[in-house]
Structure 1
Amino acid sequence: MYIILLATMLVDLDHLFAHPIFDPDRGSIGFHFLHSYYAIAVYFLMLFFKGNIRIIGIGLLFHMLTDFQDFYFWHH
């Protein structure tokens, strides 16, 4: 399970399609396609499946939560 949760960090590969790749004044949520609200809805629906799909959904939702709080609560 630990490896699966670590692998969900690969969702950040969508940052490579942005220009610039990193912008400290830009939040990931709602900007990158794997961080879109539609993608988050799919990650939520993954919670209703059994097995590894559920674990992946949990990992992706935690990733979205940490991206959200990182930008909106700690950004200066």
Structure 2
Amino acid sequence: MASVLCLLLQIYSLLILVRVVFSWFPISPDGSAAILSGFLSFVTDPVLRPLRKALPPIRFGSTLLDLSPIVAFFGIALLQNFICA
């Protein structure tokens, strides 16, 4: 059971990483990338949205830096250390 949970946590981390990378590029609403982006948002928003609400993006020069994926990675890493170690 723990190995299945460890695998799911690893997959979820990967999905967050892919979402972060996707956010760096413009995505056409008509393309297949938009479908993947929508799926990634649907899957990762339940974790990232509350984190984003508790820790709003910080201004970094002329852009905003969203720290919620970083906090989520640390949280998942902690869970993996407790469950998978």
Do they fold alike, i.e. is TM over 0.5?
no
TM-score bracket, normalised by the shorter chain, equals: 0.3 to 0.5
Give the structure-1-normalised TM-score.
0.35
The structure whose residues are more often strand, as a share, is 2
